[in-house]
Structure 1
Amino acid sequence: MAMRPALETIKHLIPPLSPHLHKGQAGRIGVIGGSEDYTGAPYFSGYSSLLLGSDMCHVICDAGAAVPIKSYSPDLMVHPYLRKSKSSSTQSISEIMDQVTPLLSRLHVLVVGPGLSRDDFMLECAKQIILKARERSMPIVIDADALCVIQKEPSVIQGYTNSVLTPNVNEFRRLCEALNVHDVDDQVQTPTAARRLSQALGGVTILQKGPKDLITNGETVYICDVEGGLKRCGGQGDILSGTVATFLAWGVGYQNNVWSHEDVVDVKNIPLLASYVGCCVTRDSSRRAYAKYHRSTTTKRILSYIQQSYEEQFEKSLTD
């Protein structure tokens, strides 16, 4: 049976707005993605993480995507380290990893996939970055094209419970096929299918996007049925990945006792709770944008409602 987490439990993970915290302690996010053809997705993911409340966001992208992404917002720190197969660069994957790896030590959470493309070299770079982040026990959100990596090689993420996969209906079906999870009806979204996929991946959190979002670690199943907007513009999944990442970063601070708190949250449930919050904020922000703009709703317009949506659903006085 699907249920909803207690709001008071979620609020324990939110860092206080305190003069005792310094820059970066409320979340340092890394987004791995962005190719010459797809520059909006990493921007939406990274910028939504900042709008929800993370302190800093780094985007690691293909060289051809760096200038456009930088032009979208000066708040994003952009690193043109990735390369596509047909790039004029002769860099090997090991040389690219030599650039990326030092940056990982400065981050709390990785989002892998927005705008990555399905270029073989880019996907192999993503795979190696996921494995390196896993070595460091970093929370990872795997979205969009990076799900192709998991579809081809489930072992890359299998058993790593500090990760969240965010498949849409088609991506979910392909993952089920790759993991031999049978009897999945493309037209019916059920807690059983999501739970079975999570179990096949060893307890990885699955955030199955749909008319109602289902979130499970193979045991607990949460449902998010917060009303969303009726305009299905591209990019809302990127907002979701960024908002989930921010709450995962707050979970890291919670575990490390960056601020004083009551120790009431079971840390194994942080990916579940982060996913639920990301769904709530993304869906409600979409609803608010749609109420004003109707058919003219765009992802950029949805961004402007993240703060209001979050504060009305989850915020309380957190100053000390």
Structure 2
Amino acid sequence: MKPVDMAAADINAEYLGVPRLSLMENAGRAVAEEIGNAVDGGRVAIFCGSGGNGGDGFVAARHLLNMGFDVEVQLLSHPERIGSEEALVNWKVLGAMQPHPGGFRVEVVRDSSEINPPDADVVVDAILGTGVRGSLREPSRSAIEIINRSDAFRVSVDIPSGLNPETGAVDDIAVSADLTVTFHRMKDGLKVADPAVTGEIVVRDIGIPPAAEIFMGPGDLMRIPSRSPGSHKGENGRVLIIGGSRQYSGAPAIAAKAALRAGADIVMVAAPESAARAIRSLSPDIIVRELDGSYIGMESLDEILELAEKSDSVLMGCGAGRETSTARTFLRVIGDLHEMEKPLILDADALRLMDYSDVSEYRELTVTPHMAEFRSFFKLKSMIFDDFRERVSAFQSVSSRIMGTVLLKGRIDMIFQGDRSRLNKTGCPGMTVGGTGDALAGLTAGLRSLGLSSFDSASLAAFINGMAGELAMERYGNGFTASDMLDMIPPVMDMGFYGF
């Protein structure tokens, strides 16, 4: 399990109604129980950082005291710098327990010189968790050195401090634990780390429900990469949308605006001249490239490929029509993009102009069908199921015919890639209005251009699009339009919207 997966599951659990304070309580109790299983009483020294890992240590201290241990807690930070609400709650609990008549002491360490070398039978490392990156700072670094010099039984909370939670590497120094108590699932770094660093690894359940990883939630927004402060125009995603026709100009325009709202720097639409003029008039933020003719055809192939080569992701199909010349052009474009390993999203008419056999080996592909398009694309007759689990299993089996990602739109969106799957429940009945699928495709292309995988970009796009629809319905009622939804995308991409 990657650190971002754990962080997302943690937030999604609270979104489902399981408070993170409860998860921290369960984690701290689990650490105390494992210590109780390993040693028979004695003195415990707990070194705590200012984040959630330290909060787990605060909880463990309370439970260890209840179990009869003498406990000393050293907070390696100013209390006002505790960055987790849940950790702060548990820090205040420890403060309320002072002064304590028994073997319980709490100290604040503001710099390395104030660290107390532990005189203990057990030393607990609750300094740095899986969300910490970068070089070690004081007093954490000195605390790790002191822990490693101790002859006590050494226990790390979730992951040994100083160990890279993704790679298992130690860049500087790390706690050499005798026991690591990790939570929910095994972390990727622990799987490959030196056993001399991790010691015995125990995985403990802390009450995160499976639904927190099955259903999309606000925690998954953490997967979206942050912009570098020194980045320049075009470095945060370039999207090319190939679509539009004499009859349809709105679809590619909506998709383009959604891609911009997703965070892409530059979005270009390559459309036949009749549609291009209309798209250009709809928004000055979209770069429009006019193609010859009323429909996309082979005469524009070289121009399309030149634009695609400079893009980070390509979306094809929105409003393109179903002309034979368009189908032939799309197949040629797909072949070349496959060779480039270019991220490609197929939507709408593109899914009617070809079938899965044309793209089965394209790993960087995402297709975004509704049920009728799904049946057409995969050459299915009818699929009727009474049981939801049976339906998900059957759709996943069908989707595995291609190596790319399938985002099957519906009342509950289903996202599949191989044996991976996610479900999304956001959305509302008002989203039956035209253009919401184009917005979803544009969101997918925009997120893909930021470097997200085909699976993550499709899953996140479904969640964001559905939440934008819900917000639009709250504001406008059932009469909202796809354009109204576009204005709702920025707030629903902000973690603060959900209270996190």
TM-score tier after normalising by the smaller chain length: 0.7 to 0.9
Indicate the SS of the match to 2:291: strand
Q: Supply the distance in 2 between the matched residues of 1:313 and 1:205 (Cα, whole angstroms).
A: 29
1:75 aligns with 2:279: no
Given candidates 271, 280, 288, the residue that maps to 2:463 is 280
Indicate the SS of the match to 1:216: strand
Indicate the SS of the match to 1:66: helix
Query: Relative CO higher for 1 or 2, CA cutoff 8 Å, sep ≥ 6?
Result: 1
Q: CA deviation at 1:233?
A: 0.6
Q: Supply the distance in 1 between the matched residues of 2:294 and 2:394 (Cα, whole angstroms).
A: 35
AA in 2 matched with 1:279: A
Q: Please, which moves more after superposition, 109-118 or 221-230? A: 221-230
Unpaired runs of 5+ residues, structure 1, are 253-269
The within-5 A match list for 1:119-268 is: 119-151=323-355, 154-176=356-378, 178=379, 184-185=383-384, 190-201=391-402, 203-251=403-451
Q: Supply the distance in 1 between the matched residues of 2:496 and 2:437 (Cα, whole angstroms).
A: 20
1:15 aligns with 2:226: yes
Q: Supply the distance in 2 between the matched residues of 1:250 and 1:315 (Cα, whole angstroms).
A: 23
8 A Cα contact 1:59 1:77, kept in partner = yes
Indicate the SS of the match to 1:230: helix
AA in 1 matched with 2:458: S
Q: Please, which moves more after superposition, 73-82 or 165-174? A: 73-82
Q: CA deviation at 1:309?
A: 1.1
Superposed CA offset, 1:153-202 (max 9, x none): x33311111111111011112223x2xx676228987222321222222x
Superposed CA offset, 1:17-47 (max 9, x none): x331111111100001001111000001011
The equivalent of 2:241 in structure 1 is: 31
Q: Supply the distance in 2 between the matched residues of 1:312 and 1:170 (Cα, whole angstroms).
A: 34
Cα 1:188–1:291, aligned 2, differ >3 Å: closer, same or farther?
A: farther
Superposed CA offset, 1:228-261 (max 9, x none): 3535110000000111111111116xxxxxxxxx
Q: Supply the distance in 2 between the matched residues of 1:104 and 1:79 (Cα, whole angstroms).
A: 12
Length-normalised TM-score, structure 2: 0.53
Which protein is bigger by CA-based radius of gyration?
2
8 A Cα contact 1:194 1:215, kept in partner = no
Cα 1:13–1:305, aligned 2, differ >3 Å: closer, same or farther?
A: closer
Q: CA deviation at 1:10?
A: 5.2
8 A Cα contact 1:173 1:186, kept in partner = no
Q: CA deviation at 1:145?
A: 0.2
AA in 2 matched with 1:191: V
8 A Cα contact 2:263 2:450, kept in partner = no
Given candidates 111, 114, 135, the residue that maps to 2:318 is 114
AA in 2 matched with 1:109: S
Indicate the SS of the match to 1:114: coil
AA in 1 matched with 2:480: T
1:62 aligns with 2:262: no
Q: Supply the distance in 2 between the matched residues of 1:280 and 1:130 (Cα, whole angstroms).
A: 27
Cα 1:81–1:273, aligned 2, differ >3 Å: closer, same or farther?
A: same
The equivalent of 2:215 in structure 1 is: 4
Q: Supply the distance in 2 between the matched residues of 1:19 and 1:315 (Cα, whole angstroms).
A: 25
AA in 1 matched with 2:478: R
Q: CA deviation at 1:105?
A: 2.0
8 A Cα contact 2:216 2:460, kept in partner = no
Superposed CA offset, 1:126-167 (max 9, x none): 22222221121111110000002332xx33311111111111
Aligned length: 287
Length-normalised TM-score, structure 1: 0.82
Cα 1:174–1:22, aligned 2, differ >3 Å: closer, same or farther?
A: same
Q: CA deviation at 1:123?
A: 2.2
Q: Please, which moves more after superposition, 32-41 or 121-130? A: 121-130
8 A Cα contact 1:169 1:209, kept in partner = yes
Q: Supply the distance in 2 between the matched residues of 1:291 and 1:7 (Cα, whole angstroms).
A: 19
Indicate the SS of the match to 1:150: coil
Q: Supply the distance in 1 between the matched residues of 2:385 and 2:271 (Cα, whole angstroms).
A: 33
Q: Supply the distance in 2 between the matched residues of 1:230 and 1:147 (Cα, whole angstroms).
A: 24
Q: Supply the distance in 2 between the matched residues of 1:213 and 1:313 (Cα, whole angstroms).
A: 24
8 A Cα contact 1:49 1:245, kept in partner = yes
Unpaired runs of 5+ residues, structure 2, are 1-209
Cα 1:240–1:140, aligned 2, differ >3 Å: closer, same or farther?
A: same
Q: Please, which moves more after superposition, 156-165 or 67-76? A: 156-165
The equivalent of 2:486 in structure 1 is: 303
Indicate the SS of the match to 1:223: strand
AA in 2 matched with 1:192: S
